[in-house]
Structure 1
Amino acid sequence: MPQHGPQPVVRHLPTQEARDLLALTRDLAQREIAPAAGAEEDAGTFPRETFALIGEAGLLGLPYAEEYGGGGQPYEVYLQVLEELAAARLTIGLGVSVHTLASHALAHFGTKEQRAEHLPAMLGGGMLGAYCLSEPASGSDAANLRTRAVRDGDTWTIDGTKAWITHGGHADFYTVLARSGGEGARGISAYLVPGDAPGLSAAAPERKMGMKGSPTAQLHFDGVTVPDARRIGDEGQGFTIALAALDAGRLGIAACAIGVAQAALDAGVAYVRERRQFGRPLADFQGLRFMIADMATRIEAGRALYLAAARTRDAGEDFSRQAAMAKLFCTDAAMQVTTDAVQLLGGYGYTADFPVERYMREAKVLQIVEGTNQIQRMVIARHVAGPESRG
């Protein structure tokens, strides 16, 4: 007998604790997030209360050490949680990924004293973070940033503008990369800046084609001062810190992309099973069945790729190449799958009465954030073919 309804994702989780965690996430996502996702995105509602709920459930610090308030989970598990959240609402899944990215520098490069002072509040659900690397004139060219940090004794003064900041104006803390020395990658340092620091302000949020509930804004630093105790890592180590965080963040984007793609496939399959043409369900037509088969295959391949990269990271091995591949493949797959989902629904797919048009608009940004997919191809090619010739 054929099975009806979306088939549950088959997950291979390492422990019973992880299985319970995924079950908790799925229940929370379907009960508290998914029902209002469409309406809240249309209204541009920032879901701060939902982030608080997720924090109370222990989902905001999953890949970090338990001694500092984290969940102590491997990336293999954390990414599958992200996928479930993104399938319910990308604003939530991507927001958790950004918060995790913003916490990365302190968790991995901070001193023991810094971690003990700041991480429990950052990971325990009471705070929400943002990551400040991009600028109006330096997105992918991160080594060319112009926001400057000037030292005077034990205090740093930061001046400049950051761009494309998720949670800009809403975050409780910002991990900020600023130029503290000479030109190039070696002149950059990292700082932990409170969200209410005097001199820090946010511009009006960008007007975007999707993810309207996730504020993206420029941040202006006008004489923002932070003590040297909030500098993360050594002076001039910021670019290395940024790249390490981005490798991990790219896996988060990959998992979010597969979540959106899975949601689109489920919506498309549900529709073609119910909609009848020429006396039979659309799901009986071979052309649509082949399209569904391709969609499902892309999703499974993307999920396998991001999980393989996560296991490489969990083993303590270099995963930069695999992270770039996962981000590239999964986000391209999400764009194709969501486009196909719109096609499956025909004219209805193009209306806001069904969620697939929203999924399609949201999938597009995933090919851009955390390094465009053209940058991912450059990263992959350097690993495979070696660096470009400068001669």
Structure 2
Amino acid sequence: MSFQLTEEQESLRRTVQKFAEKEIAPIAAEAEEKAEFHREIFEKLADIGLLGIACPEEYGGAGLDYSTYIVVVEEIAKHCLATAVGLGVQNLPQIMIDRFGTKEQKEKYLSPLSSGKKLGAFALTEPGAGSDASSLKTSAVRDGDGYVLNGTKVFITHGGVADIYLVMAKTQPEKGAHGISSFIVEDGTPGFSFGKVEKKMGLRASPTREIIFEDCRIPRESLVGKEGDGFKIAMIALDSGRITIGAAAVGVAQAALNEAVKYAKQREQFGQPIASFQGIQFMLADMATSIRAARNLVREAAYLKDSGQAFSHVAAMAKLYATDTAMKVTTDAVQIFGGYGYMQDYPVERLMRAAKVTQIVEGTNQIQRMVIARNLLK
């Protein structure tokens, strides 16, 4: 495992940096303030081959490994976490359909998702099933040559704007986690509707919405994998998603550090730049050290995944440490800015609000500690 990017990865990083500076950065703050979702950004990401970055080339994707994928996610997150999260959500159904789907499902769904013609979403969380995902209540009852779905999902990223949803529902409730199955549900299916649009503290440029199934009939061909595979599919998806969120958190933290360094050099108090004060220097040093450690931990998790080794516990470590780092670094950045940091005229307050959600999504950081501890004690 190398700690340095390959020439190809560095070239891609620079391409993404230029794209983000031109297309994302100019609209990020306003989109966040107004809670505006810019689908055209995802169309432009598709134009440069990033919406299907982890999708096989035979289905229109880039076919790149996770170690390259996280480089892209981190770079985009420096400019807009909402876009980085959206990129992750777009790739997640592709990864799961590619791994567990039938040939027909791959041919039908992967190309539209990787090309950006269709947006994807992942629907697991429910009002009473957050960290305890196996307690979900949405049901999928076999009926003739299909299934009938009933239930409600909440906090669904891309809810209401996605075209293809990967949905977890119980086919055999008496079996608990082993009775959960995974289904593809398309927007426009009768009985499938949308509820409350969430008003969030941060990540407001990424739509989060309730989705509702009321006697929603889907064909048998919508089942991904076998009946009872759903919880396994969801957990594998979360393991991969934790690496992605870790990379996004590193991007947010790096952006905050960059802003703090620049401000500390410019801001003068007591007749000199505040960067000359040891108290500020120590804060910046700790921020930089934590970010580098977080980045390397995320890269290790991606390396283990790419090489086919056990990575679940390292993904949990990466997600835990990187997101806690993002929260600490953005908070310290606001402190370095002082009163100005609390104002929307400067970007660090937005970064601080964005950082918070990374400690919650893809499994709370308390859940990550449980995953890590169980691995140690097994």
Normalising by the smaller structure, the TM-score range is over 0.9
Assess if the C-alpha contact under 8 Å between 1:189 and 1:232 holds in 2: yes
Provide structure 2 residue ranges, at least 5 long, that are not aligned to the other structure. Answer: none
Give the corresponding residue for 2:85.
Answer: 94
Tell me by how many angstroms 1:181 deviates. 1.0
Q: Does 1:125 align with 2:102?
A: no
For residues 3 and 88 of structure 2, what CA distance do their matches in structure 1 show?
20
Aligned pair count?
Answer: 376
SS of equivalent to 1:340: helix
Q: Does 1:25 align with 2:25?
A: no
Assess if the C-alpha contact under 8 Å between 1:101 and 1:246 holds in 2: no
For residues 144 and 374 of structure 1, what CA distance do their matches in structure 2 show?
18
For residues 185 and 58 of structure 1, what CA distance do their matches in structure 2 show?
36
SS of equivalent to 2:284: helix
Give the corresponding residue for 2:224.
Answer: 232
Give the corresponding residue for 1:315.
Answer: 307
Q: State the Cα deviation string for residues 329-357 of structure 1 (Å, max 9, x = none).
A: 00000000000000000000010110100
Give the corresponding residue for 1:5.
Answer: none
Give the corresponding residue for 1:164.
Answer: 155
Tell me by how many angstroms 1:11 deviates. 7.5
For residues 197 and 25 of structure 1, what CA distance do their matches in structure 2 show?
36
For residues 5 and 186 of structure 2, what CA distance do their matches in structure 1 show?
36
Assess if the C-alpha contact under 8 Å between 2:89 and 2:122 holds in 1: yes
**2:209 partner letter:** A
Instruction: Give the alignment of 1:34-113 within 5 angstroms.
Output: 34-113=25-104
2:181 to 176, 186, 189: 189
**1:142 partner letter:** A
Give the corresponding residue for 1:344.
Answer: 336
User: Does 196-205 or 50-59 show the bigger shift?
Assistant: 196-205
Tell me by how many angstroms 1:306 deviates. 0.3
For residues 284 and 48 of structure 2, what CA distance do their matches in structure 1 show?
35
**1:278 partner letter:** F
Assess if the C-alpha contact under 8 Å between 1:155 and 1:228 holds in 2: yes
TM-score of the pair, normalised by structure 1: 0.94
For residues 239 and 89 of structure 1, what CA distance do their matches in structure 2 show?
31
**1:201 partner letter:** S
Assess if the C-alpha contact under 8 Å between 1:64 and 1:107 holds in 2: yes
SS of equivalent to 2:117: coil
Q: Does 1:359 align with 2:351?
A: yes
Q: Does 1:178 align with 2:165?
A: no
For residues 11 and 117 of structure 1, what CA distance do their matches in structure 2 show?
38
**2:92 partner letter:** L
For residues 253 and 196 of structure 2, what CA distance do their matches in structure 1 show?
30
SS of equivalent to 2:181: strand
For residues 154 and 197 of structure 1, what CA distance do their matches in structure 2 show?
16
Q: State the Cα deviation string for residues 267-308 of structure 1 (Å, max 9, x = none).
A: 111111111111111111110000000000111000000001
- Following TM superposition, where does structure 1 have runs of at least 4 consecutive aligned residues deviating by more than 6 angstroms? none
For residues 128 and 293 of structure 1, what CA distance do their matches in structure 2 show?
40
Distance 1:91 1:11, change over 3 A: farther
For residues 239 and 187 of structure 2, what CA distance do their matches in structure 1 show?
25
SS of equivalent to 1:203: strand
Assess if the C-alpha contact under 8 Å between 2:3 and 2:296 holds in 1: no
For residues 105 and 35 of structure 1, what CA distance do their matches in structure 2 show?
33
For residues 383 and 81 of structure 1, what CA distance do their matches in structure 2 show?
29
Structural RMSD (CA)? 1.2
Assess if the C-alpha contact under 8 Å between 1:166 and 1:216 holds in 2: yes
Assess if the C-alpha contact under 8 Å between 1:83 and 1:258 holds in 2: yes
TM-score of the pair, normalised by structure 2: 0.97
2:268 to 270, 273, 276: 276
